[in-house]
Amino acid sequence: MTKPKQGDELVFLPLGGADEIGMNLNAYGYGPVEDRRWIIVDIGVSFGGQDKPGIEIILPDPSFLEEERDNILAIVLTHAHEDHIGAIGWLWPRIKAPVYATPFTAALVREKLRDHALLDRVPLHEVSLNAFLQLGPFGVEYVTLTHSIPEPNGLAIRTPLGLVFHTGDWKLDEAPQIGDRTDIARIQGLADEGVLAMVCDSTNVFVEGRAGSEADVRDTLKAAIQSVRGKVAVTAFASNVARLQTTINVARECGRSVCLVGRSMKKVTSAAQSVGLLQHIPPFITEEQAAGMPPESVLYLCTGSQGEPRAALARIASGGHRHVSLGEGDAVLFSSRMIPGNEVAITALQNTLIRRGVRVITDHDAHIHVSGHPCREELKDMYAWVRPRIAVPVHGERRHIIEHAAFARSLQVPMVVAPHNGAMIRLAPGTPDIIDETPAGRLYVDGGVIVEADNEALKERKRIAEEGFVSVSLAVAVKKNAILAGPDVRTRGLSIADEEAFDLALDDLADAAEAAFQRLPHAERVDDELTEAAIVRAVRKAAERAFKKRPLVEVSVLRV
């Protein structure tokens, strides 16, 4: 390892994931402030909720990295979850650095690049597990961990100023079902070298104990399936290939054939098989085949555990699935957790299933799910193995990060930095500190376009969603400056007691518009903007009276 030069600094900059669980985007910089090289670790998305109507995907703001584009050596991916790779297709064109990923991750990245027509443009380097990459001043070593997806890796990042262990997402699993166990020996080896800083997963810092092993799920899943006379549907995250493997094994033991339902189930299983996973299993049956078989011989593995309205399970529950129907005697096993924000959708889905007579079994009833993130006892183990000089909690909301920071202090980590998105943290030399704030925030994908989080369009939509909309158009004679036709008033999203009252209200609004026009001094009437603004004000007031709402009002004056 080369010696650090005068002025060299090692910095860590989270641009996503340090103010939320999701949307991970981390950068490590090395060199003097005027000549720094960067690597990016992970580039993920979050998903919009009902407070962001029309927004499905949320991206971290990459503007700092865009500016530093020429100095970015690589995008290194730890694992294939959406909150770690999902932004690659959206943001790569702004960064344009080579991408490194292990085979399973690379297979799913390729799908994304294909969707964005970037497959030919992005240099995607597939690396083996335990690979070592020298990227400028950064020596990056993949360290095998366990998590809820194949090929989860921590990264040991060596620099002339010290070694950082970036955990990515992890848990401790003695029997992960797929992939190797956590490479504890390698982690302890890093500790012997001396670890400057550990940048670590905070997701479950509020949870006592341990997450538990994938193996624990097996027996309970089997017992639950054996208790069902009719059809069984198991819903789980498609990316949890170990869970799929377990379910497939248990299905075989219970004499049930497995049918995959839902697009991402098929996508992930095919990616898994392309890298040698899910081998030596009975062939999947099609939905049509399953429909023709005795109920007790079928197990559906399906998407939709979060209550997503368009996913397979929601369609099955509402009776709207073409080939799959469930009813009395059948059961749905939720082998998954509730992602915060989805509670209402998930329980509504469960109620719909129960109304059909379907039995619903969740991880509340039986131990059929384990988390993929470290609980407090696991964090304790990891800190004991790694013995970092600095703890940097990430992958958490503010409350997780602060709690993790306090927990690390209680474990005697000498120094702790609680980062937030955009905080540039100098890890070395000297005492770690936040030395700069870079632009950080969120971008939204809205109808295929990337927009600012505080964009006007979304605000307008939310306003209309609450308050409704009124449009007014009128034709005005240019010379005589008099109304020739209209005002024509239309409303959207406004209710009133009955139709007659509604018609009267529309008349009121039209009268208000006309009166506002007539009241205008001639000098203002010839100005479209002034005219429209005056009519907007008058119509809004009349609408508030009539509808007890504050609708958006749009006025269009046509000069004839």
Q: Which amino acid is at 170?
A: W
**Beta-carbon contacts of residue 366 (< 8 Å; ≥ 6 apart):** 220, 221, 223, 224
Residues 349, 303: Cα–Cα separation, whole Å:
13
Residues 141, 132: Cα–Cα separation, whole Å:
4
Figure out which of the listed residues 206, 230, 267, 411 binds a copy of itself, where binding follows CB under 8 A: 206
* Per-residue tokens: 494: 């406004």
Place of tokens 């989860």: 152
Binding mask 497-516 for a copy of itself (x = CB under 8 A): x-------------------
Figure out which of the listed residues 360, 390, 416, 427 binds a copy of itself, where binding follows CB under 8 A: 360
Figure out which of the listed residues 1, 223, 384, 485 binds a copy of itself, where binding follows CB under 8 A: 485
Residue 55: name the closest of 510, 465, 523, 558 by CA.
Answer: 465
Binding mask 386-415 for a copy of itself (x = CB under 8 A): -----------xxx--x-------------
Q: Which one of the spans 92-100, 142-150, 167-175, 448-456 is the region binding a copy of itself (CB under 8 A)?
A: 448-456
Q: How far is the CB of 552 from a copy of itself (least distance, A)?
A: 6
Residue 351 touches a copy of itself, criterion: CB under 8 A: yes
| Helix, strand, coil % in the chain, rounded to nearest 5 | 35, 25, 40
* CB of 7 closer than 8 Å to CB of 32: yes
Q: How far is the CB of 56 from a copy of itself (least distance, A)?
A: 10
Site for a copy of itself in 128-187 (CB under 8 A): none
| Nearest CB to a copy of itself, comparing residues 82 and 446 | 446
Residue 496 touches a copy of itself, criterion: CB under 8 A: yes
CA–CA distances in Å: residue 533 to residues 272, 480, 513, 541: 59, 21, 11, 12
Q: Which amino acid is at 4?
A: P
Residue 63 touches a copy of itself, criterion: CB under 8 A: no
Q: Which one of the spans 26-34, 35-43, 353-361, 431-439 is the region binding a copy of itself (CB under 8 A)?
A: 353-361
| Nearest CB to a copy of itself, comparing residues 471 and 481 | 471
Place of tokens 């800083």: 197
Residues 170, 182: Cα–Cα separation, whole Å:
9
Residue 104: name the closest of 86, 78, 83 by CA.
Answer: 78
| Nearest CB to a copy of itself, comparing residues 354 and 515 | 354
* CB of 67 closer than 8 Å to CB of 93: no
List of residues contacting a copy of itself (CB under 8 A): 19, 49-51, 53-54, 206, 340-341, 343-344, 347, 350-351, 354-355, 360, 364, 397-399, 402, 420, 446-449, 451, 455, 457-458, 460-462, 464-469, 471, 473-475, 484-486, 488, 490, 492-497, 547-549, 552, 554, 556, 558-560
